[in-house]
Structure 1
Amino acid sequence: MLWRYLDKKSMFINRLTKRVLILLVCLVCSWPVYCAEKVILISPSDSPNDARGEYAFTLLQKALNASQLNQNYQVELSQPINEARAYKQLTQGRSLHVMWAAYRAHWQQQLNQINKPILKGLLGQRVFLINQQEQVRFNQINHLHQLKALNLGTGHIWSITPILKRHGFNLVTSSSYDGLFAMLSKQRFDYFPRGINEVIAEYRYRKPQYPNLTIEKTILLQLDLPVYFYVTPSKPQLAVDITRGLDTLEHTGQFDRLFNQYFAHLDQALNLSTRKVFKVAQ
């Protein structure tokens, strides 16, 4: 009886030991998930209908994955927030950590700018959202001064706005990203310049709400508008890791592959090679 008892006890201990080992293996394998540092990427606007952040989100996560040495990161997108509030919170670094935005000289004084343009100039390549009946008028524009004579819609604090103002464009501004589409529909201005990286998705999403909306077919407005990641000064190591990760992605070709995955179709989709090109010097 004693031997049977000892055998049963031994079998129980062996089973328990195996279960403990399995549990330990699971914990070790999942440790990076539980220990990952959360990185909050700021949404591109205060609109819940703005999907422009997908590329930046994917690129940032890939860069941080590629840079991992002693730290794991998990990127999350913030709730919609306007740019002024986002900038203020980013300087504090309490709950928001990274923002992707067009270059602003004064931001370099308060934030860590990652000096690698993530859109390779696409945001500065502008086509227009217009009302359908206006296409005939745009067909007749052959010089930049003709374009400047029309009214242009833009964001009140967007980085492109002071550039356009300095070059003599007639601006109608709004603090609301969503509001600009409504204003265009109501003919408060004549055209709404959009980066070629964003215009197709915006058009498809807004077309059901604004049936008269269309993408202008003949003009490409070019200006220098690089886009960077900006990192809160409260996380200097995060800025170092993003830089290292982007360098790795570039060296391995992953940067170009991701970029082409999102944007290689734009030339054909927007007929860029056949458009009249108007360049705005910096």
Structure 2
Amino acid sequence: MTSRRLLLFVLLFLIQLPVVAATWTIYYPRPDDVEDKRTTYPLAVLRLALKHTGVNYNLYPSQKVLSQGRSIKQLKANREISLVWSMTDKVREEELLPIRIPIYKGLIGWRLFLVKDENLDVFNSFKTIQELRQYTPVQGHDWPDTKILQSNGFEVVTATDYYEMFDVVRLEQAGFFPRSIVEIWAEMADPQKSRNLIVEPHLALRYPTATYFFFNKKNIVMKKLVETGLRRAIAAGEFDKLFFAEHKEYIEQANIQQRIVFELDNPVLPEQTPVNDPLYWYTVADAQGTPQQPPVEH
């Protein structure tokens, strides 16, 4: 090896040292309840992805509680947090930097209904979406779901506070609260949320959507880091293993095969969504919880 090549090799080696030794500090939105199960799985996915990168990292919640809407505003301004996980829509993908891998394999778009227990018989009689539209759903005022439901003919009641939405149904200011398969069972296990509410047993909505990790547009390096780790976890089969370990019981409880499922359009779904890649999506055919074979990483 010539002295010039040796010098170049040494320089490249030295350049790499800080990257290997660096510790990444990553802040995520602090939930309003430390027992909020909605953070458990996304953080597990994030840790899995980071494990596959080999980097050192510290993962912290933000100092303040941040709602979804506030989190997105702060991330866009590059303040307080390093990433959010959220349902995608066209505006969010314009303003932020997404990893287009649906961390819930699309289950976030499978919606069951929380209804007031004494109104259950009314919903049991429904057979068509026209009948369902007679009742008003409640959703977050800045959730993509609100626009999806409205565009499919529903008059939607909105609220700014997450806990308020359960009260809206209890007070019959809305007829039902559509919740995803990955959320509804943990919510029903919480006495504060589930009081006088029940999961309607024979109806469901489904619309194509994805929950992604989002980053500030300037944070390209961290986005690529997490994406690389996530793709490696998928190729190793570890992502599907985590997904089914976390959600198989919820899927079985949902009993989708025995429900009338109303398919909705999603007008806010970005064109870049990888809807044609079966590796990324859960289908009813996957009900036994068998992971699909991952592709070989090149």
TM superposition shift of 1:77: 2.7
Listed as ranges, the matches of 1:1-150 within 5 Å are 36-43=23-30, 46=32, 50-68=36-54, 71-78=55-62, 79-150=64-135
Rounded to whole Å, the distance in 2 between the matches of 1:63 and 1:277 is 33
Residue deviations 1:172-224 (CA, integer Å, cap 9, x gap): 1101111111111111111000000000001111x356531111111111111
- TM-score, reference length from structure 2: 0.78
Rounded to whole Å, the distance in 1 between the matches of 2:246 and 2:78 is 30
Whether contact under 8 Å (1:220, 1:277) holds in the other structure is: yes
Residue deviations 1:55-90 (CA, integer Å, cap 9, x gap): 00111011012113xx42222233421222211210
Rounded to whole Å, the distance in 1 between the matches of 2:25 and 2:146 is 33
Whether contact under 8 Å (1:185, 1:210) holds in the other structure is: no
TM superposition shift of 1:35: 5.2
Counterpart of 2:242 in structure 1 is: 258
Instruction: Specify which of 131, 145, 149 is matched with residue 164 of structure 1.
Output: 149
Whether contact under 8 Å (2:187, 2:194) holds in the other structure is: no
Rounded to whole Å, the distance in 1 between the matches of 2:244 and 2:131 is 34
TM superposition shift of 1:145: 0.7
Counterpart of 2:257 in structure 1 is: 273
Instruction: Specify which of 187, 190, 195 is matched with residue 175 of structure 2.
Output: 190
Whether contact under 8 Å (2:115, 2:175) holds in the other structure is: yes
Larger Rg: 1
- The one-letter amino acid of 1:41's match is Y
Rounded to whole Å, the distance in 2 between the matches of 1:281 and 1:91 is 28
TM superposition shift of 1:270: 2.1
TM superposition shift of 1:49: 5.6
2:179 aligned with 1:199? no
Rounded to whole Å, the distance in 1 between the matches of 2:153 and 2:110 is 18
> Compared with structure 1, are the counterparts of its residues 265 and 49 closer, same or farther at alpha carbon in structure 2 (3 Å cutoff)?
closer
> Compared with structure 1, are the counterparts of its residues 98 and 106 closer, same or farther at alpha carbon in structure 2 (3 Å cutoff)?
same
Whether contact under 8 Å (2:187, 2:193) holds in the other structure is: no
TM superposition shift of 1:104: 1.6
Rounded to whole Å, the distance in 2 between the matches of 1:82 and 1:94 is 14
What root-mean-square deviation, in Å, do the aligned CA atoms of Structure 1 and Structure 2 show?
1.9
Residue deviations 1:71-128 (CA, integer Å, cap 9, x gap): 4222223342122221121012232011000012122222111011111110100001
TM superposition shift of 1:46: 4.7
Alignment coverage as a number of residue pairs: 246
Rounded to whole Å, the distance in 2 between the matches of 1:210 and 1:55 is 21
Rounded to whole Å, the distance in 1 between the matches of 2:173 and 2:36 is 22
Whether contact under 8 Å (2:113, 2:176) holds in the other structure is: yes
Instruction: Specify which of 218, 231, 236 is matched with residue 247 of structure 1.
Output: 231
1:170 is paired with a residue whose SS is: coil
- The one-letter amino acid of 1:163's match is I
> Compared with structure 1, are the counterparts of its residues 195 and 210 closer, same or farther at alpha carbon in structure 2 (3 Å cutoff)?
closer
- The one-letter amino acid of 2:47's match is Q
> Compared with structure 1, are the counterparts of its residues 113 and 209 closer, same or farther at alpha carbon in structure 2 (3 Å cutoff)?
closer
2:80 is paired with a residue whose SS is: coil
Unaligned runs of 5+ in 1: 1-31
- The one-letter amino acid of 1:240's match is K
Counterpart of 1:155 in structure 2 is: 140
Residue deviations 1:13-34 (CA, integer Å, cap 9, x gap): xxxxxxxxxxxxxxxxxxx9x9
1:150 is paired with a residue whose SS is: coil
- TM-score, reference length from structure 1: 0.82
2:205 aligned with 1:221? yes
- The one-letter amino acid of 2:148's match is I
Unaligned runs of 5+ in 2: 1-18, 267-298
Rounded to whole Å, the distance in 1 between the matches of 2:102 and 2:192 is 33
1:53 is paired with a residue whose SS is: helix
Counterpart of 1:19 in structure 2 is: none
- The one-letter amino acid of 1:87's match is I
